[in-house]
């Protein structure tokens, strides 16, 4: 067997408190229990970050489950194999689901592979931009006054696109307050995280009542399996419908677009199994002239660097949820935290692999457990 092989896979759990609580329709986060994966090959290492949450509320995946899946099933299949990110998905295909765990491994392997080749992840994926417009996601606050202050602060920080989390009972009134505070020039969109019920007329009406506020999109109002409900809503609303949780891979994207369930797609590499599948979804959407944007999952600088590489592809026409490190973390796990410039843009790392230097001393200080993959 020629070329470098995957010699070692380390699983590391770290705990990071958020700068402020982040509330969505499915819960409130005050810290993240994060699974990091480190791959070693021929003296080069690569890192990946799992975006799964502590509980299976955003999706069926969760941190403990991803850890076990990597250690017991996915990782052993990759040990000793060539260091080739393109081979990860077909190698792991016998195991169903676990896309976030698979994406973590693929990212770490791709990082190591590209660091060894001296090539950036953005270039490898087909990125064409050195910086990208970015937005910020605002969790559900305690009061409308808090909401007005938060969105105003984010506008002052340079963000030109603000996304509000909504849920039944917290939708029309807060959106009206945010739009009044921001005026017409700031792009505003909302994300329901699948919180609305198809069989509730009041909830359906609340979604339609968002039309007058000039929103860029309404993201994933209904559960991921209810694609036809999105088709129906899209036909009734002027505001574009965007799918997030329903987009699992290129095939489900093609189905959703052919049905008219959405006209914009949120691409999250972790949700679809990795950056390579995410790039394939991007290519499909470009072929059909469908705008895409890069979603976020409260990533550290490791996941944020991967998101920026993906968002540098030409079809990412809308600002992604890739806000500054300081938005979420008192200290990031990379040596140079990510920042937003005065034009609401963030630089795409151009160094080898992810293009970031890992702050291993800090990671060691917040590590709660270390594990490794062993041969089966």
Q: 288-302, pLDDT tens digit by residue?
A: 999 999 999 999 999
Global pTM reads: 0.94
Q: What whole-number distance in Å separates Cα of residue 367 and Cα of residue 55?
A: 19
Q: Which two tokens stand for residue 257?
A: 């677009």
pLDDT of residue 175: 97
pLDDT of residue 245: 96
Least confident among 17-26, 256-265, 302-311? 17-26
pLDDT of residue 158: 85
pLDDT of residue 176: 97
Q: Are strands 131-133 and 345-347 parallel, antiparallel or unpaired?
A: antiparallel
* pLDDT at residue 361 greater than cutoff 60: yes
* pLDDT at residue 12 greater than cutoff 70: yes
Q: What whole-number distance in Å separates Cα of residue 29 and Cα of residue 90?
A: 34
Neighbours of 251 (CB within 10 A): 11
Give percent above pLDDT 90 in the chain.
91
Domains of the chain are 8-118+359-372 (3.30.390.10), 123-347 (3.20.20.120)
The three-point CA angle 75-91-310 to 5° equals 85
The residues annotated with a catalytic role in the active site are: 165, 268
* pLDDT at residue 242 greater than cutoff 70: yes
pLDDT of residue 2: 72
- pLDDT tier at 80 (50, 70, 90 boundaries)? very high
pLDDT of residue 298: 92
Buried b (16+ CB within 10 A) or exposed e, 205-236: ebbeebeebebbbbbbbbbbebbebbeebbee
pLDDT of residue 177: 96
β-partners of residue 15 are 33
pLDDT of residue 308: 98
Give percent above pLDDT 70 in the chain.
100
Q: How far is CA 164 from the centre of its chain?
A: 16
pLDDT of residue 20: 87
* pLDDT at residue 1 greater than cutoff 60: no
Q: Are strands 292-294 and 264-267 parallel, antiparallel or unpaired?
A: parallel
Q: Are strands 161-165 and 136-138 parallel, antiparallel or unpaired?
A: parallel
pLDDT of residue 338: 96
Instruction: Choose among 145, 11, 155: nearest CA to 73.
Output: 11
pLDDT of residue 102: 98
Question: In the 8-state DSSP scheme, what is residue 35?
Answer: E
Q: Which two tokens stand for residue 66?
A: 């991803």
Whole-number Cα distances in Å, 44 to 52, 116, 286? 26, 6, 34
Across all residues in the chain, what is the average pLDDT? 96
Q: 312-347, pLDDT tens digit by residue?
A: 999 998 999 998 999 899 999 999 999 999 888 999
β-partners of residue 48 are 37
Buried b (16+ CB within 10 A) or exposed e, 325-357: bebbbeebbbeebbebeeebbbbbbebbbbbbe
Q: Are strands 264-267 and 241-243 parallel, antiparallel or unpaired?
A: parallel
pLDDT of residue 21: 85
Element (H, E) at 28: strand 27-41
């Amino acid at each position: 067997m020629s070329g470098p092989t995957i010699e070692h896979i380390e699983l590391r759990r770290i705990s990071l408190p958020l700068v402020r609580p982040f509330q969505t329709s499915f819960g409130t986060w005050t810290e993240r229990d994060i699974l990091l994966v480190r791959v070693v090959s021929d003296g080069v290492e690569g890192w990946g970050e799992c975006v799964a949450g502590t509980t299976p509320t955003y999706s069926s995946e969760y941190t403990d489950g991803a850890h076990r899946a990597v250690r017991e099933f996915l990782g052993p299949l990759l040990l000793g194999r060539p260091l080739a990110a393109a081979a990860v998905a077909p190698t792991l295909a016998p195991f169903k689901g676990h896309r976030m765990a698979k994406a973590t491994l693929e990212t770490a392997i791709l990082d190591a592979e590209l660091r060894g080749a001296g090539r950036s992840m953005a270039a490898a994926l087909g990125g064409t931009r050195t910086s990208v417009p970015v937005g910020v996601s605002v969790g559900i606050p305690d009061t409308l006054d808090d909401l007005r202050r938060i969105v105003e602060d984010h506008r002052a920080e340079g963000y030109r696109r603000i996304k509000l989390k909504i849920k039944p009972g917290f939708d029309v009134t807060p959106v009206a307050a945010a739009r009044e505070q921001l005026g017409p020039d700031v792009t505003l969109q909302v994300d329901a995280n699948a919180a609305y019920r198809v069989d509730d007329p009041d909830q359906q009406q609340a979604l339609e009542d968002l039309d007058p506020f000039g929103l860029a999109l309404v993201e994933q109002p209904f559960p991921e399996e209810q694609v036809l409900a999105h088709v129906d809503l899209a036909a009734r609303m002027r505001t574009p419908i965007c799918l997030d949780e329903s987009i699992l891979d290129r095939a489900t994207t093609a189905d959703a677009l052919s049905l008219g369930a959405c006209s914009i797609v949120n691409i999250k590499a972790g949700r679809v199994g990795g950056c390579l599948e995410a790039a394939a979804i991007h290519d499909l959407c470009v072929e059909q002239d469908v705008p895409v944007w890069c979603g976020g999952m409260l990533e550290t600088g490791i996941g944020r660097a991967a998101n920026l590489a993906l968002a540098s592809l030409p079809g990412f026409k809308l600002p992604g949820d890739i806000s500054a490190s300081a938005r979420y973390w008192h200290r990031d796990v990379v040596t140079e935290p990510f920042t937003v410039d005065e034009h609401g843009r963030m630089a795409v790392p151009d160094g080898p692999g992810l293009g970031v230097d890992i702050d291993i001393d800090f990671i060691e200080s917040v590590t709660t457990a270390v594990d490794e993959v062993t041969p089966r």
